[in-house]
Amino acid sequence: MDNCAQKATCTNTDGSFSCMCSDGYTGYGVVCYDIDECENNSDSCDVNADCNNTNGSFSCSCKRGYSGNGATCTDVDECLETESMCGMNSQCTNTEGSYMCTCSDGFTGNGSNCSDVNECELDPSVCEPRLCVNTEGSYECTCPTGYMWNETVCNDMDECLGEVSNDCSAAADCLNTAGSYSCHCKPGYGTNCSDVDECSGRSHDCSKNAECLNIEGGYNCQCSTGYTGNGKVCEALPDVRGPEEQKTGENGSNLGLISGVTVAGFLVVATLLIIGFLCALKIRKHSKSMKVPLSINVAFET
């Protein structure tokens, strides 16, 4: 009966036997010890793998940041596999077997936590002569409100020249000021630049012989019938009627009165003449009956 070790192989020989330690073990057969392949670098693991010794053998496993069967290991690009590997406002850079996070331009921190850099506070002169406005991760150089950059200096912007750059009413005049503008209602317009009715408010200068006509933003004066002029000064038209028409025109009341008196006087005189004639005729008949000659003279003044 042999006395070989458990981890040895017994080989029969003529009249005897021999003991040989199995692979992964070392000794003289009767006693066998495990060989640590990892310790004596007799393993076949990849350089980027970890060697794990076992009884009579070993195993290989790729290190963190690598993938493979242990005998062959390749780098893992963590930046491609996980988008959230680094924090916000940072950039992921793959390295051999690992990665690193660095804050993006305009941010500062450890790569996992990055905060905005205020360039305007860091360098107040960064935008001179313009104003510096800090933005998320950057900054902007701008002119003050109402001004426009012309390559070297900020010039005042005339908002009154553009139709879009001011909000003045169509019934208002735009007045440009340094960095801004103001709106002033035009003559003929009141509160909120609404039309003023000068005719109803008696704020017009039309003639008393004219009619006031209100229009948008003003008014017109028109001479009344029978008058002529520009509306502010109106003169009566000349009388071009004949003598008979004039008697019944503007002075017709006086002429009519005179004419009426003349007719009445004529009727009175005519009545007196008729009465006188009848009286004379009666007296004459009476005289003939008495045989007395009679002569009567009647005179009337007209």
Domains of the chain, earliest start first: 8-74 (no CATH), 78-116 (2.10.25), 143-191 (2.10.25), 194-236 (2.10.25.10)
Higher pLDDT, 82 or 229: 229
CB 195 within 8 A of CB 216: yes
pLDDT in tens, 118-137: 999 999 999 999 999 999 99
Closest CA to 22 of 44, 55, 45, 53: 55
Average the pLDDT over 60-67 and give the result: 94
CB 31 within 8 A of CB 47: no
Secondary structure of residue 262 in the 3-state scheme: helix
Q: Say whether pLDDT at 290 is over 70.
A: no
- The reported pLDDT for the residue numbered 84 is 66
Q: Say whether pLDDT at 212 is over 60.
A: yes
Question: How long is the chain?
Answer: 302
Burial 10-25 (b: 16+ CB within 10 A, else e): eeeeeeeeebbbeebb
pLDDT in tens, 33-53: 999 999 999 999 999 999 999
- The reported pLDDT for the residue numbered 256 is 42
pLDDT in tens, 134-164: 999 999 999 999 999 988 899 999 999 876 6
0.85 surpassed by pTM: no
Res. 76 pLDDT band, cuts 50 70 90: very high
Residues 6+ apart with CB under 8 A from 129: 153, 154
Average the pLDDT over 20-24 and give the result: 90
- The reported pLDDT for the residue numbered 16 is 86
- The reported pLDDT for the residue numbered 123 is 94
